[in-house]
Structure 1
Amino acid sequence: MAIEIFCRKEQKYLITRKQYEELVEQIGPRMRNDKNGTDGRYTVTSLYFDNAERSIYFETKNKLKYRQKLRLRVYDEATPQSTAFFEVKQKHNKVVNKRRLLMPLQEAYRYLSDEADPDLTHYETTNFQVLKEIDYFRKYYQLEPEMIVSYNRHAMHGVTNPDLRLTFDFDLRCRKEDLSLEHGPYGENFIDEDLVVLEVKVENSVPLWLARILQSLECEQRSASKFCTSTELLKGVLTPPVVRETTTIGGMEDATDQQLVFI
């Protein structure tokens, strides 16, 4: 069964396809392809949510110490009967917490529809607790489906350290019409097609051997929010307002001492 609740640190890099090829060659002895997809390669298609005030966008753009996103995700080709991943991705002081559930895509659509059943126990899901959290988050922010972001991914894990995970994302596309995930990964490119978004995901710190390879290849560590970049392309460049650090699902209003509180 897919992991539904986990915590990790992430570092993002924006690299060229040539750097990607050289990096994969050098890390080959220490890394293996992800068991999912074909040789660790598969397509990711995600439906992101926001509200009329663009609250989620501005929280991310302003790099608040505590921020979160809601997304509904499928892998490779999907139908309404396919399994979808509904998840809240939270970031607090550079640590990423992800809480997600699995449910049939058509069931997720039923939950999002105007005729949604108010009794959450009537939905088919692998984690009712996470559904409660998603429901609270969505209603608190008045979130609605906003855009679809898709890309091709190559994922790798450490041979001796399975907690070390690298993902390489190519051909990043977005669209604001046709928000049906089963219609596939198409849209407008929002990052140069020669660039690759690399994410290094670890429990504690990046291994020294990997840090040295990244440095030798001159890989540039750079924040690359797919959600923000897509929003700016589809909605026009937005000017971030001054945002007071607050919590959403729960915690202290003082951002220096926030506690994540789950319903």
Structure 2
Amino acid sequence: MHNRKYRHELKHSINTFDVIGLISRLSHVAKADSHGGTDGTYQVRSLYFDNLYDKALMEKVNGVPSREKFRIRYYGEDLSYIKLEKKSKYRGLCHKTSAPLTGDQCRYLLEGKIDFLKESSMDLHKELYAKMRSQQLSPKSIVDYTRRAFIYSAGNVRITIDSNIRGSDQIQQFLNPTFIGKAIIQDIILEVKYDHFLPQVMATATQIPNRQTVAFSKYAICRIKGEYI
């Protein structure tokens, strides 16, 4: 795995009743993410890349064990902090690298002006440029959702509860914080992320009866359910 730091990532589809109990338990043992607003939540918007043959989508659908995808992400209405991310999967483990983007750089990408990536000093920028050229990657889908998160230092645990998942293929609206995409699913997604081990206190706090681990991708579900494949 090329000495990368990979993390475990478990996902569960839960309901509103599950969330009430989950938040109550986590509030006693974990720290709420400082990015949360007065209600403890914040908005996440991502723009995913794929190619003409939907390589990233099909690899997810077909369960390819080693795969990667690129996305651009910002939070709430804050366009001063935008980041490019590459998320890699290897036999169920996850690795993520990121690099900052300015608002202007993001606009250039949306307009297909990508030469600045080649001239960048950042490796991830250069890698995206190379793959946009060699694999014909391009911005494909916007994914929005509401997130509530908790952290626990031992095991570097991060718990996220994502709801109100929306999607759109109107990529030119990505930098418009007031744009509202199409509601995709009512499911609430619980993600449990950790390094080498999950402390028992967190395993207990996140345990929900009759909820199985699922292979879930917000990008894939928005492409499929949004009917803009």
TM-score range, shorter chain: 0.7 to 0.9
Q: Does 1:133 align with 2:127?
A: yes
Cα distance in structure 2, aligned partners of 1:30 and 1:155: 13
Alpha-carbon deviation of 1:25?
A: 0.7
Alpha-carbon deviation of 1:186?
A: 1.6
State, as a whole percentage, how many aligned pairs show the same letter: 25
Aligned to 1:175: 168
Larger Rg: 1
Alpha-carbon deviation of 1:92?
A: 0.6
Residue pair 1:42, 1:152 contacting (<8 A) in 2 also: yes
Q: Does 1:144 align with 2:142?
A: no
Cα distance in structure 2, aligned partners of 1:47 and 1:118: 19
Match of 2:82 among 68, 76, 84: 84
Three-state SS of the structure 1 residue aligned to 2:210 is coil
Aligned to 1:165: 158
In structure 2, relative to structure 1, the CA distance for the partners of 1:111 and 1:218 (3 Å cut) is: same
**Tell me, which stretches of 5 or more residues in structure 1 are unaligned?**
239-263
- TM-score, with normalisation over the residues of structure 1? 0.77
Aligned to 2:16: 17
Three-state SS of the structure 2 residue aligned to 1:206 is coil
Alpha-carbon deviation of 1:178?
A: 4.7
Aligned to 1:201: 193
1:124-147 Cα shifts (integer Å, max 9, x gaps)? xxx611212222233232111111
In structure 2, relative to structure 1, the CA distance for the partners of 1:104 and 1:119 (3 Å cut) is: closer
Cα distance in structure 2, aligned partners of 1:134 and 1:115: 13
Aligned to 2:59: 59
Three-state SS of the structure 2 residue aligned to 1:190 is strand
Cα distance in structure 2, aligned partners of 1:59 and 1:137: 16
Cα distance in structure 1, aligned partners of 2:171 and 2:78: 15
- TM-score, with normalisation over the residues of structure 2? 0.88
Give the paired residue count. Answer: 224
Match of 1:210 among 202, 215, 224: 202
Three-state SS of the structure 2 residue aligned to 1:99 is strand
1:131-175 Cα shifts (integer Å, max 9, x gaps)? 1222223323211111110001001101x4271100110100001
Residue pair 1:74, 1:181 contacting (<8 A) in 2 also: no
Alpha-carbon deviation of 1:78?
A: 3.8
In structure 2, relative to structure 1, the CA distance for the partners of 1:96 and 1:216 (3 Å cut) is: closer
Alpha-carbon deviation of 1:115?
A: 3.9
Please report the RMSD computed on the Cα atoms of aligned residues, expressed in angstroms: 2.3
Aligned amino acid, residue 69 of structure 2: K
Cα distance in structure 1, aligned partners of 2:11 and 2:31: 20
Alpha-carbon deviation of 1:120?
A: 2.8
Cα distance in structure 2, aligned partners of 1:131 and 1:226: 23
Aligned to 2:37: 38
Aligned to 1:241: none
In structure 2, relative to structure 1, the CA distance for the partners of 1:207 and 1:41 (3 Å cut) is: same
Aligned to 2:26: 27
Cα distance in structure 2, aligned partners of 1:107 and 1:157: 31
